[in-house]
Amino acid sequence: MRLVILGGPGSGKGTQAKKLSEHFGIPWVSTGDVLRAEIEADSDLGQQVSETLAQGELVPDSLMIDFIKDRLQQTDTAQGWILDGYPRTAFQAEELDFFLETLNTQVSRVIWLELPAHCLIERSEYRGAIDDNPDALRRRIATSLETTMPMLEYYEYRQRLVRVDGNQPVDDVKREILAALR
């Protein structure tokens, strides 16, 4: 099982990815967690990412693509994985597909957690992540939706997209996802 879980900031991607990781016994690769750890460690990557996020922008494709290629070649991902927070653009989705072709595999399904923008803002403010100041958050949500729509079309065309109502209790979202994956 090779899954991608997508949604705006605060949509519940991490929560569902963790639950699916436990359910299927495959690693959860959270780009947000890795990037936040880099910021806290004040590494070179963390400094670049911090400046980018503070402006409400997305991390550059080149950094994310290299990170993902490296991570998906580690031994714990041989039986599958769940990507949370990547890809974020149609270009990244294509690059991921090209890379997976070199490994003779592909994304099994892409799960899109649909929520209205006001729910994303409320959830993100409640969560209080370090990169969630209100102005940056609004820009991130707008940027996320703008860049995500072409990617959703890309995966829908390839018949890999599963749309799930993310504005319901956590266990109901999980049940809906598992039903769609059967």
Kindly report the number of other CB atoms within 10 A of residue 135's CB atom. Answer: 10
Mean pLDDT, residues 93-103: 95
Task: Give the residues across from 111 on adjacent strands.
Answer: 5, 162
Q: What are phi and psi of 109, to 5 degrees?
A: -150, 155
pTM above 0.75, yes or no: yes
pLDDT tens profile 61-76: 888 888 888 889 889 9
**Which of the pair, 111 or 52, is modelled with greater confidence?**
111
Q: What are phi and psi of 14, to 5 degrees?
A: -65, -45
What superfamily would CATH give domain 2-181? P-loop containing nucleotide triphosphate hydrolases (3.40.50.300)
pLDDT tens profile 75-87: 999 999 999 988 9
Element spanning 3, H or E: strand 2-6
pLDDT tens profile 3-23: 999 988 889 999 999 999 999
Residue 54 and residue 140: Cα distance in Å, rounded? 10
Domain boundaries, the chain: 2-181
